[in-house]
Chains A and B, each alone.
Chain A
């Protein structure tokens, strides 16, 4: 008896959570395609799920084979018509609704299969439930902000103000309307100049920090010298130094020396903050290269520099790639130093430019979103191309975030 009560309770709980997640997603899909009002009446979900759980439970007890699923599905659809669905819907939205309910039923049947239903396996069903819903939930909370960023950047000011919940991609716009925010950001707000500055600073940072960290990492990884362990442990400590502690004195010093308001100031500070990370990641990789390779070259009369250039570096291309990518991302995304150091518009990097030029109540939000898309896309593209290397590199040495 208690088992049955538990069972009923879990069907109820699972169905509420699953249906809620799915209906929100279905709703979002529907508004992104048809621009229309929501298709679900959320406040009835509890009632609906209660009735659903009753039917599910009853049918499963009466019919113990696979046919029960079909009955449950039909009943769930019928119930939804009375309680859950907004009546003013069109045929396409009906398709979405049906697919939501198919997914809903499939998932619940996955948690409580007809085979194990009578001897209720709490744990198995619970883990399945948790896994599926978490996967949906994680994907949703990650994709949604990026999607909204992208969609808002395509809208006109009027549409955004009239209907802020509109998630549709305006395919019916002409090309110039479609990209109008991007064009405005580029032409009115000097965005290309910011992008150029960001690119220059990021590439210089990558080259400088590689130039410094490769020999340093090799020395720490391979060469024997007094103080080696001290250096390798202090690298870790150095990248726990907060940027905010550095920024005030650096602001003062750079103001006195007269190069605060310039790209040059960023080109010194960024590498200095990324070198410890780069060095740490690289030395971890260098240590993993079989020493016998280098040893045999040394015995054959190759010099240390020769060994580094001919053996170590060619073997560590993946690590160097991942370090470069990581350093590039840090420099490209960096906000604090750019924000503090740069005053002149001509030197602004993208984050700095976005903050000053576009984060203003008077600037239409779609411009801000267009700017955000333009700063995010290059990073995500690079990330997708080199993802495998980056993931390996990030976990090879613990890495700052």
Chain B
């Protein structure tokens, strides 16, 4: 009925902006991340080496006809790398004419231009150029600093050259920390997901039936999720603070404990003879608290879509409420729960802010994402940081693949 070709064309036009921005800001950086992970880039390498040129007037009290000495200082900004094909240009006052110009430089139409083949690393030289003041020289209009000298050069940019190595991967895989971090990341993602789902299902079951104030509770239950992570994380850090915090003081006042507990600073606690990762546990509780609302919303929506006659039929058969839950409700929720599980797992796996703000990755809570940050900014090594990110990406790709296999084909309800 309609012209398909025209429709497709329109669709592509409408999608192109979206696709291009996603391409630029999401897909291209992923590629960039892989690229960086094969390069030994330090934080300091981000500034490419370049020529630095400064000029200085050496002569004072100039009269027409005098010689003028101008000192140029040429410097290679890098301590380690040479730069090539340096071209320098500077505008020269029209009141002067060149007398003695160093090799490689020329003056044309009041434009000084120089060319050098190569400056070695740490190259730093002062060259004096001699000019002569013309007859029409006016001291008031003469200011060599008026125009800044410009320099362009080719340098071997570590970011764009084609030298690759596997050293970053070697480095991170040799660290014992990395294996430990992978373990922590899995523990954290798995249990935080379970926690959020458990709370979410409980909360949804609570609000399943209509009662007075249901809307209020539904809004309230979403608070942790919609509030800024920074505010809630700081609040919890403050509540859990060993000395100034509410919780420790309250427990102390009521003689539940005899000395403050370092909630966010206890790596291991001996619990029935095995090392219990206490702070990780607290972080998992926080994470469950913060993300249960999402699970709650989805499960509540699904709960209310379960046909009521299922329950009526089972009532007639004499099923108890608990039987109804296990034989009707839970099977009906299984689809949404498994979907939520895999999504929540992936998002917890990707989480950086929550742990970073709560513990900074200390006390046995360093996940891979925190390690990326530490490698990049604490150790100033962009290369190893991106190789950890690649590790995350590969693990995630596996999860997403599983998700694609498991997830029901039509989840778009």
Contacts and interface: CB of A to CB of B under 8 A. Distances in A.
Contacts of A383: 219, 222, 226
Contact of B219 (A149, A220, A350, A384): A384
Nearest to B17: A212
A231 B33 CA distance: 23
Given A252-B36, A276-B22, A383-B222, A245 B389 contact: yes
Interface in B1-55: 2, 4, 7-8, 10-12, 14-15, 17-19, 21-22, 24-26, 28-33, 35-36, 41, 46-48
A250 interface: yes
Interface string A53-90: 00000000000000000000000000000000000000
A401 B296 CA distance: 13
Contact of A333 (B228, B339, B343, B350): B228
B400 to A, nearest CB: 6
Contacts of B202: 134, 138
B85 to A, nearest CB: 20
Given A252-B382, A256-B46, A244 B350 contact: yes
A184 interface: no
A215 B17 contact: yes
A374 to B, nearest CB: 9
A269 B22 CA distance: 10
Interface of B, helix, strand, loop or mixed by DSSP? helix
B25 A273 contact: yes
A125 B393 CA distance: 49
Contact of B246 (A148, A238, A271): A148
Interface in B100-131: none
A391 interface: yes
A30 interface: no
A244 B235 contact: no
A376 B229 CA distance: 9
Contacts of B369: 242, 244
B244 A164 contact: yes
B14 A215 contact: yes
Contacts of B228: 332-333, 335, 350-351, 372, 375-376, 379
Contact of B352 (A142, A219, A244, A279): A244
Nearest to B245: A164
Interface string A128-164: 0001001100110111011011001000000011001
Contact of B386 (A143, A248, A368, A369): A248
A393 B257 CA distance: 46
B238 A242 contact: no
A124 B8 CA distance: 59
A269 B301 CA distance: 32
Interface stretch (B60-68, B133-141, B248-256, B265-273): B248-256
Contact of A275 (B21, B236, B238, B385): B21
B392 interface: yes
A250 B30 CA distance: 9
Contacts of B24: 272
B231 A268 contact: no
Interface residues of B, number: 99
Interface stretch (A1-9, A36-44, A173-181): A36-44
- The CB with the most chain A CB atoms within 10 A, among B203, B231, B389, is that of B231
Contacts of B7: 223-225, 304
B346 A240 contact: yes
B314 to A, nearest CB: 14
Given A244-B392, A395-B298, A219 B222 contact: no
B298 A152 contact: no
B321 interface: yes
- The CB with the most chain B CB atoms within 10 A, among A123, A138, A369, is that of A138
B347 interface: yes
A335 B322 CA distance: 43
A365 B239 CA distance: 11
A198 to B, nearest CB: 10
Interface in A227-247: 228, 231, 237-238, 240-246
A298 interface: yes
Contacts of A400: 347
A272 B22 contact: yes
A244 B22 CA distance: 16
Contacts of A244: 350, 352, 369, 372-373, 389, 392
A334 B8 CA distance: 36
Contacts of B18: 212-213, 215-216, 275, 279
Interface in B354-389: 357, 369, 372-373, 376, 382, 385-386, 389
A398 B352 contact: no
B159 interface: yes
- The CB with the most chain A CB atoms within 10 A, among B46, B225, B234, B357, is that of B234
Contacts of A241: 26, 30, 396
B81 interface: no
Nearest to B33: A249
B317 to A, nearest CB: 16
Nearest to B18: A216
A127 B393 CA distance: 44
Contacts of B212: none
Contacts of B339: 398
A147 B350 CA distance: 30
A393 to B, nearest CB: 10
Contacts of A246: 25-26, 29-30, 33
Contacts of B385: 248
B29 A250 contact: yes
Contacts of B203: 134, 138
Interface string B187-228: 000000000000100110010000000000111111111111
A145 to B, nearest CB: 5
B392 A368 contact: no
Contact of B230 (A256, A287, A355): A355
A276 B15 CA distance: 12
28 contacts: A134-B206, A135-B206, A138-B221, A145-B235, A145-B236, A148-B238, A160-B244, A165-B246, A165-B253, A167-B246, A215-B15, A216-B15, A219-B12, A219-B15, A225-B7, A231-B19, A245-B389, A249-B35, A252-B32, A256-B48, A271-B21, A272-B25, A329-B226, A333-B230, A351-B229, A368-B234, A376-B232, A391-B297
Given A246-B30, A395-B301, 13 more contacts: A127-B321, A138-B203, A161-B244, A219-B14, A243-B352, A244-B373, A245-B390, A248-B385, A248-B389, A368-B238, A379-B227, A383-B226, A398-B298
Interface of B: 2, 4, 7-8, 10-12, 14-15, 17-19, 21-22, 24-26, 28-33, 35-36, 41, 46-48, 159, 199, 202-203, 206, 217-232, 234-236, 238-239, 244-246, 249-250, 253-256, 289, 291, 294, 297-298, 301, 320-322, 339, 343-344, 346-347, 349-350, 352-353, 357, 369, 372-373, 376, 382, 385-386, 389-390, 392-393, 396, 400, 403, 411-412
